[in-house]
Amino acid sequence: MTNGKDIDDSIKFLTGTTDDVIAYTIDGTKAGDSAKQILVIFNPNQKAEDITLPEGDWKVCINREKAGTDTISNVSGKISAEPVSCTVLVK
Residue 3: its pLDDT value, please?
79
- Could you please report the per-residue DSSP string of 23-63? EEEEEHHHHT-SSSEEEEEEE-SSS-EEEEPPSS-EEEEE-
Q: What is the CATH number of the domain that holds 81?
A: 2.60.40.1180
Please state the rounded mean pLDDT for residues 74-85: 96
List pLDDT tens digits, range 5-58. 878 888 999 998 887 999 999 998 877 788 999 999 999 999 999 999 999 999
Q: What per-residue confidence (pLDDT) applies to 76?
A: 97
Residue 14 belongs to what domain range?
Answer: 4-90
Higher pLDDT, 66 or 33: 66
Report the domain count for the chain: 1
* Reported pTM: 0.91
Q: What's the pLDDT at 18?
A: 84
